[in-house]
Amino acid sequence: MKLIVGLGNIGREYENTRHNIGFMVVDELARRLGVSFGKEDRSAYMAEYRAPEKIIIIKPTTYMNLSGVAVGAYANFYHIDPDDIAVIQDDMDMPVGQLRIRRKGSAGGHNGIKSITEHLGTDAYPRFKIGIGHPARNNKAVVNHVLHAFQGEDKTAIEAAVAEMATALEEWIKSGDIEEVMQAHNKKKAKSEKPAAE
C-alpha cells in the first residue's frame, strides 16, 4: 500500500498559488488515474486507486503547518511504512519548475514537512519537490511569495512541472523503485537554471 500526499492550503483563495503545488500535482494524478477526491476523512480529502495494490491519495485539510495530522492518521490507520509515503511539496530554494525527488531529508524550513516528520517520527520518507523560486529574504516577502499565483513564464513552467511530476508518481506507483524515478527525473533542470560550477 502507498500513500501519496499533496501539500497545500484548502480554500479558493489559495488555489493555484505557489504553496499549493502539491494539490495541483495530486489533482492531475487523480485525473489521470480516473479517481476523485471524496468527502473529508481523517483531516484530508481522499481518493483511492488500485494498481493492483491500494494507493491512497490525500489533500490535508488542516492547512499547511499541520499537514502531519492527516499524514500521521492515514499512516497509522493503514499501517503504511514511511518508505511508501510520497509527499509532494513546493521548494523555494529551487528555480521555478525544477523537479527534485529525494528518498528522505530535512524539512529545509518547510512547515508542512516539519509537521509530517514530527507525526511520523522520522524524516525517511520520499519527497517529490517542485521549485517555486525565492523572493527577497525576509518573512513578509516569503509569505506573499508562497501565497501568490503563478504568472506568465512561471505559469507555463509550473504547468509542465506538474505534468512531469504526475508522470514521476505514476512510475513510482508502478515500480515502487524511488531510485529509478530519481534517475529519470532529477537530471531535468528548469530552463532558467544555470549549470552549477564544477
Cβ neighbours of residue 152 under 8 Å, at least 6 residues apart?
Answer: none
Task: Give Cα separations from 127 to 104, 136, 156, 192 (angstroms).
Answer: 6, 25, 23, 22
**Residue 19 bears catalytic tag:** yes
Q: Which residues of 178-187 are buried (b: 16+ CB within 10 A; e: fewer)?
A: beebbeebee
- Nearest of 79, 90, 180 to residue 131 by alpha carbon: 90
Classify 190 as helix, strand or coil. coil
Cα separation, 43 vs 69, in Å, equals: 7
Neighbours of 16 (CB within 10 A): 15
Cα separation, 41 vs 39, in Å, equals: 6
Catalytic residue among 19, 110, 119, 185: 19
Residue positions annotated with a catalytic role? 19
